[in-house]
Structure 1
Amino acid sequence: MSADHYYDKVAGDESSDPLVGEGSSRAVRAPPTQAKKRSLLTTVALGAVLFTAFIAAVAVISSAVVSYRLPAATTAALSKQSESIAATASASAQPVVTSSASKSNAQTGNAVESAFDASHHQEMRNCGGTADEARAAGCVFDVMMQLWTPPECMDTPLSERFLEAGNWTWYADGGAQRAYTDEEIRKGDHDVVYVAQSYHRHHCIFAWERLVRAIRNQAPMIEELISYDHVMHCRHKTLTLPEEGAEEVRGVVAPTGFTKCASYDVWINNLPFNKMSSTD
């Protein structure tokens, strides 16, 4: 593009004046007609500014005169009203006292838990070593796990579903001569029970399902649910087919046990000892 064409795009009606070369000190002059227009506009603008300043000065003087001529009664009333407004503002500024029990989580920074919640997250409960000790500790007997269990770790709906579906018979001896009643087995006073192998398989599936339910519901869990030894026991004794090396078992001897219960936050720092490695 030529220099003349470029100048047409930039300067419009100033095409008769050549572009200023790089480094040149010559300025581009505006036509006389435009200079006159600019002078007129400057004059009008200056006049508008002076007029506005005059109006503002008159308003200030008028306000001072009116304030000076107010009667004494009106001045007193205004003073009294100002004092009333100040007193109201002062009262509103006083801090509102709230009992600690009514403070919200937002006010306390979510740092306050009830005594129950705190103990629930920090304690590890156990059931002792005998049925009497377990009862004294408030534990209940879990038939599906054959364990005395702290009540907060019980999953009663799941346990009852498995027991109803399995409908197992529990025997006091290996020869199946004497069967326990449902009431007797739920008391947990026996030292050992003999039951069909199908119970053992369902017991392992029950533990698996119970673990997932506890995690999803953020519920506390018993020691066996995070035991790698228990997983390996279920794998080799119940879930492996005979042709894959599983033991042939016609029945199961299930001893009565006593477990511990805690939240995952507690367990993760107090994992139970396992004979088998979960890292190899």
Structure 2
Amino acid sequence: MSSSQKSLPEQSSPLALGPCAPLPRPTVVARLRAAGCVFAEDEAELLVSAARTPDELAVMVEQRVIGLPLEHVVGWAEFRGLRVAVDPGVFVPRRRTEFLVGRAVDLGRRAAKRTRRPTVAVDLCCGSGAVGAALAADLERVELYAADIEPAAVRCARRNVAATGGAVYQGDLFDPLPAALRGRIDILVANVPYVPSDEVGLLPPEARDHEPLVALDGGADGLDVLRRVTATAPRWLAPGGHLLVETSERQAPRAVEAFTRNGLLARVETSDELYATIVIGTRPDRRQEPSPGTP
């Protein structure tokens, strides 16, 4: 969880309702620290604030101690200032992905100025729908769609995206999207899995044990799903539309090759602050190119 959650209301005294003896805050901190939680004080504050009864607090502390992701324990994650619902078994949105969303928002605003209509945005491999919800929150007018292959993710994403008026579909990549979207998408964000298969076992237990493998494993070199997306994206993007994906710094050159091989103009952007690397591909807009012989 991000540091912004420190602003949650502080409870100066332990909860005192129900049959279970209240867990004092120092005890919660000590148990979390013993379990290896690096930010034990912050996590204890969040758990105490989220629990409604001493019984619930005891259960939540035990869940965290045995390794459940904090976001699954409390049921939400903070993402770009939003409280996003995250159900058990659903991929937890990473703070580094906020960089991807920020660039998507910038490009979406430019698209709206150029087209003078709502931005058509798609959150592919949407997981909890955090990216789509953040896009809807920051774009003035947006026509939002999201899709994921995992049923649990789709159920969760519908909770997060429903308030924005967006639609969420279940299926493999572009397959479940309405055919009418072909050639209309201004912003296509695909937070594809990009961990190489033989490195999944090196991930923290919170990820490898409690998040769906399909949201983590990107194949032999981590780029299998990215290649599938880039091969199909040009047929769905509007002229001048953008595809944005997150990857690792060492994978970026091969990711760019996949973009350019499929006719997208690609560039790499990084954030040192968030340790994030993204590739942005643009479908050329032939309508804006000068005709032969035009100075």
TM bracket (short chain): under 0.3
Give the TM-score normalised by structure 2: 0.25
**Larger Rg, first or second structure (1 or 2):** 1
Give the TM-score normalised by structure 1: 0.26
Q: Which has the higher contact order (CA 8 A, sep 6+)?
A: 1
Question: Which has more strand, going by share of residues?
Answer: 2
